[in-house]
Amino acid sequence: MNGQSAIFPSYARYPITIVKGEGSRLWDADGKEYLDLMSGLAVTNLGHCPQRVKEKLVAQLDVLWHASNLFHTPNQEKLAGMLTANSCADYVFFCNSGAEANEAAIKLARRYNSKVLGNERYEIITFHQSFHGRTLATLTATGQDKVKEGFHPLPEGFVYAPYNDVAALRSYISDKTCAIMLEMVQAEGGVIPVQQDFIDEIVKLCKEFDLLLIVDEIQTGMGRTGKLFAYEHYGIEPDIFTLAKGIASGVPMGAMLGKAKLRDAFTAGAHASTFGGTPLATSAAIATLEVLLEDRLPQRVQEMGEYTVAKLQEGTAGNPLVKEVRGLGLLIGVVCTQPVADVIKDIHAAGVLVVPAGPNVVRLLPNFLVTKEEIDKGTAVICQVLAKHAEKAAAVQS
């Protein structure tokens, strides 16, 4: 191998090797400590190695790791009950990732129309700059061409509409449309929250044309936006919504949730997942959800999100490089006038971990237990780096 990694180079990795994590801190192979304000892309929402989740996992290791989904397991029943009791959904399908959850949602929408309603509708409207996953169906659902390069021919059945454009939406509905699918905040697409009038129009059109409303909560769900689920901010109830990332504190897990009317579309043999909802994964998810609910963490997320946005706005005031700070809860974007790749590298070098959201946005995804002192430290570094890059840009222009 001539010293090269045996891993396919499908990630543009940063030159940092992470070896240990605790709370809001990570350490690399050289012993350097980082303040983690990205939480593994909205995954480690309780911080790294949270004690109560660890205890559940350790206890489960002595009991049962895996059982086929051809049998019942207590953890699945408990977790499904907790999720439905705290949401608008009636049923849950467990899987392993966000892409799988969205794949299940797409399949459920099509099969409901075919097998329950008895029609031939199969198209799903999604939106420009959306992101729904990396399987063939979910990357096709994604409204970004860059993720589709080299994977043609792509599956049929997806139509892309402009996001937050109320006037245009109706024109994308046809006699083939079965569902509308969107994120409440386009996270990968630039941290863009949906507008209330736009989601209201979507709900209206779904009722008028008997369409299913699918909400992708892969990144926004499990408390990330200041509510347990982001759709709650808007006073709506989706027919289907999807979860992953933060559901099990880093243990691979996903879920697709739906209304009671959809039950007969997913009968035995309609869909399956060998590793979906294993005893280990569900034990981590149960513990995660217990902490979220018992400690009222979504409320804390809302408060800390407001605090973080205020610190960023204060620290970037007057910086010509920064257009705005936007987001919902602890899903926050610093929108810049130019690409931020070098900005992010410099923030990393200063010991703070953040990620981009599109080419021009610095994205912050702190864990829910992050302290004000940690936010003060992290935002100060981000604002200082942005100030230096603004000075460089001004020097070049002069």
Tell me if 327 sits within 8 A of 191, measured CB to CB. yes
Question: Looking at the structure, do residues 155 and 65 belong to the same domain, yes or no?
Answer: yes
In a domain, 5, yes or no: no
Domain count across the chain? 2
Question: Looking at the structure, do residues 23 and 109 belong to the same domain, yes or no?
Answer: no
Closest among 366, 226, 370, 372 to 311, alpha carbons compared: 372
In a domain, 224, yes or no: yes
In a domain, 333, yes or no: yes
Instruction: Please provide the DSSP assignment of 348-388 as one string.
Output: HHTTEE-EESSTTEEEE---TT--HHHHHHHHHHHHHHHHH
Instruction: Say how far apart CA 75 and CA 77 lie, in whole Å.
Output: 5
- Report pLDDT for 315: 97
pLDDT at residue 267 tops 50:
yes
Which residues touch 133 (CB under 8 Å, ≥6 apart)? 97, 98, 99, 100, 102, 103, 139, 141, 142, 218
- Report pLDDT for 1: 41
In a domain, 1, yes or no: no
In a domain, 195, yes or no: yes
pLDDT in tens, 143-188: 999 999 999 999 999 999 999 999 999 999 999 999 999 999 999 9
Instruction: Report in angstroms the alpha-carbon separations of 394 from 78, 330, 388.
Output: 58, 31, 10
pLDDT in tens, 234-266: 999 999 999 999 999 999 999 999 999 999 999
* Average confidence (pLDDT) over 115-132: 97
Closest among 350, 376, 347, 373 to 362, alpha carbons compared: 347
Question: Looking at the structure, do residues 81 and 218 belong to the same domain, yes or no?
Answer: yes
Pull the structure tokens for residue 394.
Answer: 């001004």
pLDDT at residue 71 tops 80:
yes
Q: How confident is the model at residue 2 (pLDDT cuts 50, 70, 90)?
A: low
What is the number of other CB atoms lying within 10 angstroms of the CB of residue 260?
Answer: 10
- Mean pLDDT, the chain, as a whole number? 97
Q: Which CATH number characterizes residue 368's domain?
A: 3.90.1150.10
pLDDT at residue 4 tops 90:
no
* Average confidence (pLDDT) over 112-130: 97
Q: Identify the domain containing residue 26 by its residue range.
A: 18-49+296-397
Instruction: Say how far apart CA 327 and CA 347 lie, in whole Å.
Output: 20
Pull the structure tokens for residue 220.
Answer: 């926004």
In a domain, 7, yes or no: no
Which residues touch 82 (CB under 8 Å, ≥6 apart)? 286, 289, 290
In a domain, 208, yes or no: yes
Closest among 43, 216, 190 to 137, alpha carbons compared: 216
Q: How confident is the model at residue 393 (pLDDT cuts 50, 70, 90)?
A: confident
pLDDT at residue 395 tops 90:
no
Q: Which residues pair with 356 in a beta bridge?
A: 362
Instruction: Say how far apart CA 5 and CA 193 lie, in whole Å.
Output: 39
* Average confidence (pLDDT) over 8-24: 96
